[in-house]
Amino acid sequence: MKFRRSERLVDMTHYLMNHPRELVSLTYFSQCYHSAKSSISEDLVIIKDTFENQGIGTLQTLPGAAGGVKYIPRVKKEHAEEFINRLCKLIADPERLLPGGYLFMTDMLGDPQILNEVGKHLASAVSDREIDVVMTVATKGIPIAQTVAHHLNVPFIVVRRDNIAMEGSTVSISYVSGSSKRLQMMSLSKRSLKENAKVLIVDDFMKAGGTINGMVNLLAEFNATVAGTAVLVESEFDEERLVDDYISLIKLTDVNVRERHINVSPGNYFSDRSDFL
Amino acid sequence: MKFRRSERLVDMTHYLMNHPRELVSLTYFSQCYHSAKSSISEDLVIIKDTFENQGIGTLQTLPGAAGGVKYIPRVKKEHAEEFINRLCKLIADPERLLPGGYLFMTDMLGDPQILNEVGKHLASAVSDREIDVVMTVATKGIPIAQTVAHHLNVPFIVVRRDNIAMEGSTVSISYVSGSSKRLQMMSLSKRSLKENAKVLIVDDFMKAGGTINGMVNLLAEFNATVAGTAVLVESEFDEERLVDDYISLIKLTDVNVRERHINVSPGNYFSDRSDFL
């Protein structure tokens, strides 16, 4: 059965959205739809233009026999500003204040629409880097890691603070949580990370950077490389931070429990970036 | 700027995929694309046919002034069989065996392509139920909950076995893990679940059902209703199981550590179902 252009456009959009950053050959599409490669090429031009105009992403075309097309999730700067401002408003709600100046963020980390956007925005910001794996620490980092990994189309791995039997042999390190100065342990299953992997570290929250620095040290044990660090929220920290190269969507500048006031602004997401659509 | 049909099809497919089970009015699309509702209706017929033919899902149309269209993720039976058989083969690999008969599944629970399919398949199986929230227990249930919640377009909440300060006041219960017979605690932040919510319980693994039964008891404390239970893997259990109404993708029938053999078959996913595409 031959597919009409309209049907191909719908199905190709679905396929590309489910396979970001994956090289798909024109032959593959041509066989799926029993259509000439020239027709497929025309379809891809329409999809690329629409993706770019609507802020969905872009299509990269690789010419030649081994070539094909790759969907790269990207965002428009104005969409990112809108989304990050919406997050800021959500976070600034004084109802989020918990004793000790902690913020209740469980609802945001369980909202699939917000997570999908967070993942897309963070993945877009590192879309020109080589990344094999996304890594985070349990528990609250997991939703962020999963959505970023989805948009990068690479696996994610979870470092644990408990050492459980169900993951086989593990490598553990001790680290100092930067703000509380407590000595803690983190461990990662040996099988979950290959040597020399390029790893994007993500987390929901960063203050002094101790936990992220712990993950960096753990990666050294696996001879892995840090390809970048991305967090949902960074919190202002007066002393020297243990991590200096990172991407953040949101910055907490002040949390005043007594006056029930939370000060939030966009993170460094817009600094030095020219890769918006 | 007026949109051409081809552009509308691409962008509407993207929009619907990102908003499953959400009622979208024709007016919304008509305003987005500066196009007549009659054209939008024709677009939706093409999208519906392609979604159904390709095993993406279906579009439900609600007529009238308050009407519109809803994308419902659904799978074809033959796709489900293919996917579940692939999972069976993956799980039957004797390299997964850990001491005590545990199975290493961390790689599968960190693979965004597998997770996306797991989420779509489990969400499809409950697509005719009213569900407000997906619930799981930390840590390994989280990726399953997140992907199912994504395809149902509802929030997910995470029950914890530790009781941490960062989620405000919590409700805790004690429960007996069915297979190990150990008394354990689980707790859920009070703010994360509204009264009378209809909750889908999900987890990566179920043996005696003690953990899931614990979640059922915890839900009673919130006056919430169980809308269903869905697991990735169920394990054969000789004694009486604590949970009897559930959906599983995979069934572990035998794990023999000595002979390094894992026996896996499809779960009850195909029983009593007529809602495949």
Domain range summary for chain B, segments of one domain joined by +: 5-73, 78-270
Closest-CA distance of chain B to residue A267, Å: 22
Q: Give residue B242's pLDDT band: very low, low, confident or very high (50, 70, 90).
A: confident
Q: Is the pLDDT of residue B30 over 70?
A: yes
pLDDT band at A56 (very low <50, low <70, confident <90, very high): very high
* Cβ neighbours of B19 in A, within 8 Å: 113
Task: Provide the token pair at A154.
Answer: 């690479």
What SS3 class is residue B264?
strand
Go through A24-55 and write b for each residue having 16 or more CB atoms within 10 A of its CB, e for each that does not.
bbbeebbebbebeeebbeebbebbbebbeebb
pLDDT in tens, B79-129: 999 999 999 999 999 999 988 888 999 999 999 999 999 999 999 999 999
pLDDT tier, B250 (very low <50, low <70, confident <90, very high otherwise): very high
B87: helix, strand or coil:
helix
Mean pLDDT computed over A76-97: 97
A vs B, Cβ pairs < 8 A, gives 160
Q: CA–CA separation, B219 vs B201, rounded Å?
A: 10
Quote the pTM value. 0.97
Mutate to test the interface with A, among B2, B9, B118, B171 (most CBs of A within 10 A): B9
The confidence score (pLDDT) of residue B48 equals 98
For residue B94, give both structure tokens.
């004797």
* Nearest CB neighbour to B168, from listed A98, A138, A153: A98
A residues 21-80 closer than 8 Å to B (CB)? 46-47, 49-51, 53-54, 56
- Answer whether B86 touches A (CB < 8 Å): no
Tell me: pLDDT of A52 over 90: yes
> Do residue A139 and residue B139 have CB atoms under 8 angstroms apart?
yes
CB contact (8 A) between residue A192 and residue B138:
no
Q: Nearest chain A Cα to B164, which residue?
A: A139
Q: How far apart are CA B138 and CA A140, in angstroms?
A: 10
What per-residue confidence (pLDDT) applies to B179? 67
DSSP symbol at B2:
P
- Domain A5-73, second-level architecture: Orthogonal Bundle (1.10)
Q: pLDDT band for B1, please (50, 70, 90 cuts).
A: confident
ipTM of model:
0.96
CB count within 10 Å of CB A209 equals: 23
- Per-residue pLDDT for A38 more than 70? yes
Amino acid B180: pLDDT: 72
pLDDT for the residue B119: 98
pLDDT on residue A165: 66
Q: Scanning every residue of chain B, which has its alpha carbon at the shortest distance from the alpha carbon of A193?
A: B107
Interface of A with B in 178-217 (CB under 8 A): 189, 191-192
Helix (H, G, I), strand (E, B) or coil at B273: coil
Q: State the pLDDT at residue A43.
A: 98
d(CA B215, CA A255): 34
pLDDT of amino acid B112: 98
What pLDDT digit, counting tens, does each position of B4-26 carry?
A: 999 999 999 999 999 999 999 99
| Option in B6, B154, B160 nearest A9 (CB) | B6
Instruction: Specify the CATH architecture of the domain B78-270.
Output: 3-Layer(aba) Sandwich (3.40)
Kindly determine whether residue A98 and residue B13, on different chains, have CB atoms separated by under 8 Å.
no
- Inspect the interface and report whether the beta carbons of B49 and A113 lie closer than 8 Å: no
CA A5 to chain centre: 33
What is the pLDDT, as a whole number, of residue A274?
A: 87
B179/B161 Cα distance (integer angstroms): 17
Structure confidence by residue, pLDDT tens digits, B142-196: 999 999 999 999 999 999 988 676 778 899 999 987 667 789 999 999 999 999 9
pLDDT 10s digits, A89-120? 999 999 999 888 889 999 999 999 999 999 99
- Is there a contact between A54 and B14 if contact means CB atoms under 8 Å apart? yes
Do the chains contact at B14 and A113, CB–CB below 8 Å? no
Of A93, A126, A110, residue with least CA distance to A249 = A126
Report the SS3 class of residue B250: strand
Chain B, residues 238-277, CB within 8 A of chain A, namely none
pLDDT of residue A224: 97
Residues of B in contact with A138 (CB under 8 A): 138-139
Would you state the pLDDT for residue A64?
83
Average pLDDT, chain A: 94
Percent of all residues in chain A with a pLDDT value above 90, rounded to a whole number: 82
What's the mean pLDDT when you consider all of chain B? 94
Give the nearest partner residue to A143 out of B10, B142, B168, using CB atoms.
Answer: B142
Tell me the two tokens of residue B133: 């929230």
Please answer whether residues A135 and A202 qualify as being in contact, where contact means their C-beta atoms are separated by less than 8 angstroms: yes
Report pLDDT for B178. Answer: 67
Which residues between 127 and 146 in chain A have a beta carbon less than 8 angstroms from any beta carbon of chain B?
138-140, 142-143, 146
Q: Which of A50, A112, A192 sits opposite B11 (nearest CB)?
A: A50
Identify any residues that bridge with B60 across adjacent strands, giving them in sequence order.
B70
Residue A5 with chain B: CB contacts under 8 Å: 6
**Complete DSSP assignment for chain A:** -PPPHHHHHHHHHHHHHHSTT--B-HHHHHHHTT--HHHHHHHHHHHHHHHHHHTSEEEEEE-STT-EEEEEE---HHHHHHHHHHHHHHHT-GGGB-GGG-B--TTGGG-HHHHHHHHHHHHHHTTTS--SEEEEETTTHHHHHHHHHHHHTS-EEEEBSS--GGG-SEEEEEEE-TTT--EEEEEEEGGG--TT-EEEEEEEEESS-HHHHHHHHHHHHTT-EEEEEEEEEEE--SS--S--S-EEEEEEEEEETTTTEEEEEE-GGGTT-----
Q: For residue range B41-78, what is the model confidence (pLDDT) as tens digits?
A: 999 999 999 999 999 999 999 988 788 999 999 999 99
pLDDT at A228: 97
Please name every residue paired with A235 in a beta bridge, in sequence order, or none if there are none: A252
